[in-house]
């Protein structure tokens, strides 16, 4: 679900079959003009990949300098990778997509990260104060290293992805002010499972571990979301590990010390 540049909400609904036959996945948008109280009918199916498509706007659709809308997405050109994006040779990769009609239809704009051996998955995208886009990208398969890349031409082309010093999945980024960016993620380091955060003060050139936000008992937790509150604090929401008897949605307040 994301806020559009028009102020509406758009939600991408995934219809999937992952067992009992051939894998299938279909994604449809639906809109709300009243803050989510009511929703319209499903729109045209979004097919940005031949196999399966999953948009990953993380709460925001970007408006580009030419007025078109942009969002990141990931998927595969092989349908067998829906249940497990590393299965059956189904290499996943990430792209950006644009819309000329206020989000009613989408087409591919540029490949963000693609490899013959690395399964690139969910991307977190942030527009930096200087205008460039920066992306932190999840990978599937050990050691689950995160990657970073940039675009200086409105998401048409992206720099070669480079490794980051953390094994973070389901990343989410937010600006802290003064050029600093915080990235929260599911930590796949076996010594610190749960949800962690890393911070950069130089636009992504270097990163420092900022600490643990939640200590988990296994890897399956995360999908943190971050928002700045009116009082200057930050709120982080996430889900907890299944193995702790019950999976729950938790939230915490973060204070950033300068």
Contact 48, 106 (CB under 8 A): yes
Give pLDDT, residue 179: 83
pTM: 0.92
In Å, what is the CA distance from 55 to each residue of 12, 27, 127, 136, 206? Answer: 7, 8, 18, 15, 28
Give pLDDT, residue 144: 94
Contact 235, 251 (CB under 8 A): yes
In Å, what is the CA distance from 114 to each residue of 75, 77, 132, 161, 185? Answer: 11, 12, 20, 9, 21
Distance CA(38)–CA(24), nearest Å, equals 28
C-alpha angle 9/148/139, rounded to 5°? Answer: 80
| Per-residue pLDDT tens listing for the chain (258 residues) | 999 999 999 999 998 776 666 667 899 999 999 999 999 999 999 999 998 899 999 999 999 999 999 999 999 988 765 555 555 556 889 999 999 999 999 999 999 999 988 999 999 999 998 899 999 999 988 899 999 999 999 999 999 999 999 999 999 999 998 889 999 999 999 999 999 999 999 999 999 999 999 999 889 999 999 999 999 899 999 999 987 678 999 999 998 876
Distance CA(33)–CA(68), nearest Å, equals 20
């Amino acid at each position: 679900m994301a806020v559009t540049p028009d102020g509406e909400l758009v939600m991408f609904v995934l219809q999937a079959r992952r067992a009992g036959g051939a894998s299938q996945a279909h994604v449809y948008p639906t809109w709300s003009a009243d803050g989510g109280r009511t929703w319209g009918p499903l729109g045209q199916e979004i097919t940005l990949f031949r196999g399966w498509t999953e948009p990953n706007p993380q709460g925001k659709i970007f408006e580009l300098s030419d007025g078109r809308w942009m969002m990141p997405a990931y998927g595969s050109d092989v349908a067998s990778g829906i249940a497990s994006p590393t299965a059956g040779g189904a290499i996943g990769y990430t792209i950006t997509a644009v819309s000329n009609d206020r989000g009613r239809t989408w087409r591919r704009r540029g490949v963000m990260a693609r490899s013959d051996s690395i399964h690139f998955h969910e991307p977190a995208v942030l527009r930096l104060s200087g205008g460039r886009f920066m992306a932190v990208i999840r990978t599937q398969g050990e050691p689950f290293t995160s990657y970073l890349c940039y675009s200086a031409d409105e998401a048409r082309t992206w720099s070669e992805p480079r490794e980051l010093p953390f094994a973070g999945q389901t990343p989410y980024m937010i600006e802290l002010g003064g050029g600093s960016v915080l990235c929260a993620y599911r930590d796949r380091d076996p010594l610190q499972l749960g949800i962690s955060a890393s911070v950069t003060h130089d636009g992504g050139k270097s990163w420092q571990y900022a600490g643990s936000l939640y200590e988990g008992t296994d890897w399956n937790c995360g999908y943190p979301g971050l928002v700045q509150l009116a009082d200057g604090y930050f709120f982080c929401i996430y889900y907890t590990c299944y193995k702790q008897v019950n999976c729950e949605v938790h939230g915490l307040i973060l204070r950033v010390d300068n």
